[in-house]
Amino acid sequence: MAEEILLFGAWGSPFSRRVEMALKLKGIEYKYIEEDITNKSPSLLKYNPVHKKIPVLVHNGKPVAESLVILEYIDETWKDSPILSKDPYERANARFWAKFIDEKCLSAIFKACWGEEKEHEKAVEEASELLQFLENELKEKRYFGGETVGLLDIAANIIGYWLGVFEEASGAELLTREKFPKLCNWANEFVSVSAIKENLPPRDKLIAYLRNRFGVGTTSK
Amino acid sequence: MAKNDVKVLGAWPSPYVMRPRIALNIKSVNYEFLEEKFDSKSELLLQSNPVHKKVPVLIHDDKPICESMIIVEYIDEVWTSGPSILPSDPYDRAIHRFWAAYVDEKWFAAMKGLRSAQGEERKAFLDRVIEGLALLEEAFGKCSKGKAFFGGDRIGLLDIAFGSFLAWLKVTEKVNGVKLLDEAKTPGLVKWAERFCADAAVKSVMPETEKLLEFSKFLAAKMKGAPPPKN
């Protein structure tokens, strides 16, 4: 049976890039559809009527939404190059930190980069506390997933690439080598993996977009 | 297996705490329930969940697992001889996970908003809660395929995720004088709720509505009587 895999995404979104990273890691062919999130297509609204957001993966006509849900679906459907361990405790751990990144880290990072000036120091401190948890979680591993890139590495793409871009666009300093040597090493390893590298939005284009959308940031020089 | 190999740190009013307890009941796993005191967090909790400092926490062979739905999936994966909590088909699993995330991130957020809102805001939250229930009614039709639960013949992941909020839903109905689950608008969910609450795995851990209502009043009074925040 011919498989049809569609992915509705947006070039700058770490969430839709996560899905592409997983598909590429597993060598899965798919058709990518770029959405203009200011002018959502009828197809997107049909496939994700609840949230009306990207990414949406459509597999043989059946839609799956929410990036972390999609990652698990991909891992369960295409079993080559697994992104989750077989061990239940390690799986729970990866899921815990992925949720932590989505629920806590992104908004804290955002506040530190584009929040109010008088709140800036506090915002940096809060974001740093969160990053410290991830620094500790990495321990001596090459990737969060161990020897190979796993679900948590993919979920941490925000930290691995987008954070650096946010910093450059806004002038904020968060992921420094002094404070987070392990995370910095991990970020370099992460973006060097070919399935990841091929799926990173161009840096300059992203910086221009962010500055245009959110301003030049509280601490731009 | 010795009872103290499995512990759940929790609090009786919490819908999140109900979830792992239901899952353990489904799997017939004995566990020790360690009730947290209302206003203080135990050393064990702070050690086991340093990131969020919240219940529930499952402690299995001294290893902590946090976040209620992650704990439920862990339970399903460890105790494989019991009935399955997640469906076996990857697409069905994705649907259960999608709606479980929706319940937590969107629907219950609106319920909480409703609890503390005043005036105009209240109507807005109420509308959101009711819209959410309409979506869940539709999801129930699709997931259950005519059977008793979202999971089919037996309670599944999404039943646990959504059903754990039923006691608070009943309290909200009483406090606001509204019917949220309604035979006319959400007939499927009305019957499902009865079945869920009556299920053996759920009955013993679902708080009684009256008791929860008292607790809710106590919470509300405490919030009103709280000293003004320092500048």
pLDDT at residue A167, as a whole number: 96
pLDDT at B222: 82
User: Bridge partners of B58?
Assistant: B8, B65
pLDDT at A221: 45
- Which pLDDT belongs to residue A215? 84
Nearest chain A Cα distance for residue B31, angstroms = 18
Instruction: Please name the member of B60, B93, B98 whose beta carbon is closest to the beta carbon of A66.
Output: B98
Q: For A142, phi and psi rounded to 5 degrees?
A: -70, -45
**Predicted local distance difference test score (pLDDT) of residue A119:** 92
- B229 pLDDT higher than 60: no
- Give the gap in angstroms from C-alpha B47 to the nearest C-alpha of chain A: 14
Residues A151-160, mean pLDDT to the nearest whole number: 98
Whether residue B208 has pLDDT greater than 60: yes
- Contact between A73 and B93 using a beta-carbon 8 Å cutoff: yes
Residues 6+ apart with CB under 8 A from B219: none
The residue-averaged pLDDT of B35-42 equals 92
Question: Do the beta carbons of residue A71 and residue A95 sit within 8 Å?
Answer: no
Residue in A closest to B92 by C-alpha: A73
pLDDT score at A219: 61
Separation CA B194–CA A59 (nearest Å): 35
Mean local confidence (pLDDT), B156-165 = 98
pLDDT of residue A216: 78
Taken in order of first residue, the domains within chain B and their CATH numbers are: 6-78 (3.40.30.10), 90-212 (1.20.1050.10)
Q: Chain B partners of A95 at a C-beta cutoff of 8 Å?
A: 67, 70, 73
Whole-number percent of chain B with pLDDT over 70: 96
Query: A70-112, pLDDT tens digit by residue?
Result: 999 999 999 999 999 999 999 999 999 999 999 999 999 999 9
Going by C-alpha positions, the residue among A17, A12, A20, A64 that lies closest to residue A38 is A12
Q: What's the pLDDT band for B12 if we cut at 50, 70, 90? A: very high
Mutate to test the interface with A, among B16, B65, B76 (most CBs of A within 10 A): B65
- Report the pLDDT averaged over residues A9-38: 97
Kind plus residue range of the DSSP H or E element containing A14: helix A14-25
What are the chain B neighbours of A89 within 8 Å (beta carbons)? 60, 63, 65, 74
pLDDT digits (tens, 9 = 90+) for B86-130: 999 999 999 999 999 999 999 999 999 988 888 889 899 999 999
ipTM above 0.90, yes or no: yes
Cβ distance of A88 and B71 shorter than 8 Å: no
Let me know if A171 is exposed, middle or buried by CB neighbors in 10 A (0-12, 13-18, 19+). middle
Residue B28 has pLDDT above 80, yes or no: yes
Interface test with chain A among B16, B53, B74, by most A beta carbons within 10 Å:
B74
Spatial contact of A152 and A190, defined as CB atoms under 8 Å apart:
no
A133 in reach of chain B (CB within 8 A) = yes
Mean pLDDT of the region A46-59: 98
A62/B contact by beta carbon, under 8 A: yes
Find chain B residues with C-beta within 8 A of A64's C-beta: 91, 94, 98
When pLDDT is cut at 50, 70 and 90, the band that residue B220 belongs to is confident
Q: What is the mean pLDDT of chain B?
A: 94
DSSP A118: G
What's residue A220's pLDDT?
53
pLDDT per residue over B51-68, tens digit each?
999 999 999 999 999 999
Tally A–B CB contacts below 8 A: 52
Arithmetic mean of pLDDT, B38-50: 94
The per-residue pLDDT of chain A, averaged, comes to 95
Q: Which of B52, B68, B85, B98 to mutate to test the interface with A (most CBs of A within 10 A)?
A: B98
